[in-house]
Structure 1
Amino acid sequence: MLTITEVSQKYEITQDTLRYYERIGLIPPVNRNKSGIRRYTDDDCEWVHFIKCMRSAGLSIESLIEYVTLYQQGIDTVAERKKLLIEERRKLVDKIEEMNEVLGRLDFKINGYEERMEKKQGKKKA
């Protein structure tokens, strides 16, 4: 079992963010010891890792709360969870395609500057 400080360091997430995620239902409630100190199990850490990964991919908090809520409702929600993840995947693919277009435009601009710099260097030598 890990403390909130250890989980925060392990996943590079602030303690406030971990508390917030738990408060809004983004991660299931974390068990506490007799003193009220959070004690993260391996399962809790898997949720933190999953949420961090999905957030870094651009999934909204709302979608993730919906997913966690469905998960907590049990096996009868498998189809709904799958549908939600498929939709989020589609959005991510669209975003990747858009980012690749932007990357291509940047590469084009950079290459144009490289060519101009080479021409400028050639003129100085002549």
Structure 2
Amino acid sequence: MYTSKDVAKLMDIPVSTIRYYEKIGIIPPIERDENGYRIYTNSTLNWIYLMKSLRNAGLSIDSLQEFSRLSKETGEERRKQKQVLTNQLNELDAKIAEMVRVRKLLAYKIETYDEHLAKFQNGELTEKTAEELWKLVL
């Protein structure tokens, strides 16, 4: 069992965020001990970790609430959770592909910087002779 402070440290998020997640229903209600202190189980930790990860990946609070709501459903309605995850994975894959493309462009610009600067300074590189970056296959 973990305390709020333990979980905040473990998940690297403020206690206020954990309480907010509970308040808006994106994690299940947290059990409490006889003194009213929150007690976190492994299941609760999994929910917090999943919600933190999905939020960091760009899922909106509304989408997280929908995902959590679907967890309380049964049958085909419950299976819609998988579609929420699939949609997010597809978005992430597209973002990663774009980031890889931009990374290659940046690496290319860094690798060729001195050469381009020298050409620019000696007049070899002009508006008319500038490379067409958008046509490069990196």
The TM-score bracket by the shorter chain reads 0.7 to 0.9
TM-score (norm. length: structure 1): 0.82
SS at match of 2:71: helix
Aligned residue for 1:23?
A: 23
**CA offset digits 1:70-95 (Å, max 9, x no partner):** 00223442331112211111111111
Q: Which has the higher Rg, Structure 1 or Structure 2? A: 2
TM-score (norm. length: structure 2): 0.76
| AA at the equivalent of 1:28 | P
Aligned residue for 2:33?
A: 33
| AA at the equivalent of 1:39 | I
Q: Please, which runs of 5 or more residues in structure 2 have no aligned partner?
A: 120-138
| AA at the equivalent of 1:98 | E
Q: Whose helix fraction is larger, Structure 1's or Structure 2's?
A: 1
Aligned residue for 2:78?
A: 78
Aligned residue for 1:105?
A: 105
Return the offset for 1:58: 2.1
Q: Which moved more, 1:101-110 or 1:21-30?
A: 101-110
Return the offset for 1:118: 9.5
The two structures, once aligned, show a CA RMSD in angstroms of 2.1
Aligned length: 119
Q: 1:37 to 1:114 in 2, by over 3 A?
A: farther
Q: Please, which runs of 5 or more residues in structure 1 have no aligned partner?
A: 120-126
Residue identity over aligned pairs, in percent, reads 38
RCO (CA 8 Å, sep 6+): is it higher in 1 or 2?
A: 1
